[in-house]
């Protein structure tokens, strides 16, 4: 018997040109809006024009680089100052996560440290979040449909999450045309993040049939389109595939969890100024290999072993492909797209003890298909350093 729960935003709007509905969608939640953008708010002028036309008052809140705990605090102050009815997040994962964190903290009160996992008090966020309309302009994080927001603590040098079912945006508006301007490096980073978020839920200990369907479809779209989107940002079909794969990856991780790759990237992203997707890519093939080896030694009857073979078939398009072929496919793709190694991200052997210790207790590790030893986590990192 199969039993599971599946959560998703009340509304998901997907398709080219869908952004034209943004102003009226926001107006449906009230007249005062906080607009959370990336570091270049001028790129969202089309959105603020729509809000003005719809009779909505708005205040901009730009987010530089990754959202910090301090960023969330400042955003809550701005949202409270304008008595925001709704928060619209537009941009990459940083902007969307900031929007979700501001919206839930504005309604619950208190400080982010009261609710953060691992480094905070972990109190439940009991009051419903302010409504969030999430508009991604990258194709990778899936934050537009997830129930958490990742914040970086400068003091503890780690990335951790606020988490609550009420944080799922009320509306996810995904317009692939908004991703056409992504440069190749960002296309590679976000696309590999999406792929990791499809493979880890598919091979997690919490997988379920709905997540499986999304992951299977999403992996196929990444396999046929990530190279094309990286090579030609105006390839509309490839951009649509990647936007849809990213959306599926967010739904998948929200309902089946992730694995050791994200267990490591949380601490690593707090310590080193590297793009999250690049860290995922540098770890993914090695994490898959070490997970398989651990399963074969301790759980040789695990059905997850067959899933790694299926990942290979979906990525390579070859009926006879096995798990090792998936790992080779990933390494080849990373070389083609010039993905930096862990060493190029600033990670060295001297950092392994800290990364291993933090990854072993990270929330992202909990859905890994098998509990790994610290020696096995170290092996993933060591292989990643070797390239």
% of residues, the chain, pLDDT over 70: 100
pLDDT at 273 over 70: yes
Do 11-178 and 181-386 show the same overall fold?
no
Evaluate if residue 192 carries a pLDDT over 60.
yes
Q: How much is the pLDDT for 1? A: 56
Query: How much is the pLDDT for 270?
Result: 85
Label residue 160 by pLDDT band (50, 70, 90): confident
Query: pLDDT confidence of 272, banded at 50, 70, 90?
Result: confident
pLDDT given for residue 380 in this prediction: 97
* pLDDT attached to residue 62: 97
Q: What is the mean pLDDT of residues 30-46?
A: 96
Average pLDDT over residues 252-267: 95
pLDDT digits (tens, 9 = 90+) for 211-255: 999 999 999 999 999 999 999 999 999 999 999 999 999 999 999
pLDDT at 12: 98
What pLDDT is recorded for position 64?
A: 85
pLDDT higher than threshold 60 for residue 386: yes
pLDDT class of 332 with cuts at 50, 70, 90: very high
Evaluate if residue 169 carries a pLDDT over 70.
yes
CATH of segment(s) 11-178: 3.40.50.1970
Q: Determine the average pLDDT of the residues in 90-116.
A: 96
Q: What is the mean pLDDT of residues 50-79?
A: 95
Q: Which has the closest alpha carbon to 38: 65, 71, 20, 74?
A: 65
Residue 118, pLDDT above cutoff 80: yes
pLDDT at 109 (0 to 100): 94
Please state which CATH class domain 181-386 belongs to.
Answer: mainly alpha
**Least confidently predicted of 70-79, 153-162, 176-185, 333-342:** 153-162
* pLDDT reported for residue 275: 87
Going from N- to C-terminal start, the domains of the chain cover: 11-178, 181-386
Higher pLDDT, 158 or 316: 316
């Amino acid at each position: 018997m199969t039993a599971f729960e599946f959560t998703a935003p009340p509304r998901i709007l997907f398709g080219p040109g869908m952004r034209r509905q943004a102003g009226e969608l926001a107006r449906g939640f009230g007249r005062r809006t906080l607009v959370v953008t990336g570091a270049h708010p001028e790129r969202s002028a089309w959105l603020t024009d729509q809000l003005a036309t719809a009779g909505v008052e708005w205040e901009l809140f730009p987010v530089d680089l990754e959202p910090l705990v301090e960023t969330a605090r400042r955003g809550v102050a701005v949202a409270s100052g304008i008595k925001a009815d709704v928060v619209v997040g537009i941009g990459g994962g940083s902007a969307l996560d900031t929007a979700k964190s501001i919206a839930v903290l504005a309604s619950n009160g208190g400080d982010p440290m009261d609710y953060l996992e691992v480094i905070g008090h972990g109190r439940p966020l009991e009051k419903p979040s302010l409504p969030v309309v999430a508009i991604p302009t990258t194709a990778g994080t899936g934050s537009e449909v997830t129930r958490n927001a990742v914040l970086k603590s400068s003091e503890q040098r780690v990335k951790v999450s606020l988490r609550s079912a009420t944080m799922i945006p009320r509306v996810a508006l995904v317009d692939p045309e908004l991703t056409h301007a992504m440069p190749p490096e960002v296309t590679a980073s976000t696309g590999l993040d999406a792929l990791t978020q499809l493979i880890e839920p598919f091979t997690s200990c919490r997988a379920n049939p709905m997540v499986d369907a999304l992951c299977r479809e999403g992996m196929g779209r990444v396999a046929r389109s990530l190279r094309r989107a990286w090579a030609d940002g105006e390839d509309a079909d490839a951009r649509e595939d990647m936007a849809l794969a990213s959306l599926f990856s967010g739904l998948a991780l929200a309902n089946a969890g992730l694995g050791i790759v994200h267990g490591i990237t949380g601490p690593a992203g707090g310590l080193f100024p590297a793009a999250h997707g690049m860290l995922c890519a540098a770890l993914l093939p090695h994490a898959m290999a070490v997970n398989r080896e651990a399963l074969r030694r301790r759980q040789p009857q695990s059905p997850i072993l067959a899933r790694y073979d299926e990942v290979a078939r979906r990525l390579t398009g070859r009926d006879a492909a096995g798990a090792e072929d998936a790992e080779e496919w990933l390494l080849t793709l990373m070389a083609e797209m010039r993905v930096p190694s862990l060493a190029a991200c600033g990670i060295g052997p001297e950092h392994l003890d800290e990364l291993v210790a933090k990854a072993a207790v990270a929330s992202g590790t909990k859905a890994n298909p098998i509990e790994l030893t610290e020696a096995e986590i170290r092996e993933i990192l060591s292989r990643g350093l070797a390239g």
